[in-house]
Amino acid sequence: MNLQVYLAGEIHTDWRDAIISACEGLDIDWLGPVTDHAASDDCGVEIFGAEDDKFWHDRKGALLNAIRTKTGIERCDVLVVCFGEKYRQWNAAFDAGYAAALGTPIIVLHPPEHDHALKEIDAAANAVARTPEEVARALRYVTTGRL
């Protein structure tokens, strides 16, 4: 079974690489946001021109990034969303909500400390994982039917 998997969420750790590496050999196409933080923040003004007001600077980038994010989430078969420990990931919550509204299966990845804060997102998910390895094992099971 070929899957399109969108890896949403925090960009400050290597959780994406860990999942992709652990899924080597599986028929999975990986999708996701731009994970270069500076490029993601500045893409709008780099392409469409500078803005004096930080609000409009950020808005240009957010609107351009939304094209990639929306298209990727709409195309994916499964959304994996990681909530990290260091930052609040409003974008990750938004991505999970968008996928849930589309009826896309969701695997949430977060530490136990976030259980209460993410209870609604966890309730909308098909699975809640604690480690990238658990996500990879779940994707291996989904694609092959084997444990």
Q: Print burial letters for 9-21: b (CB count within 10 Å at least 16), e (below 16).
A: bbbeeebbeebbe
Question: Mean pLDDT across the stretch 2-19?
Answer: 95
Tell me the one-letter amino acid at 35. Answer: T
CA-CA distance, 28 to 31, in Å (whole number)?
Answer: 10
Output the pLDDT for position 98: 98
pLDDT per residue as tens digits for the range 108-124: 999 999 999 999 999 99
pLDDT per residue as tens digits for the range 54-102: 999 999 999 999 999 999 999 999 999 999 887 678 899 999 999 999 9
Output the pLDDT for position 100: 98
Domains of the chain in sequence order: 3-33+76-144 (3.40.50.450)
Q: How many CB atoms lie within 10 A of CB 28?
A: 22
CA-CA distance, 25 to 28, in Å (whole number)?
Answer: 8
* Full-model pTM: 0.95
Residue 18: pLDDT band with limits 50, 70, 90? very high
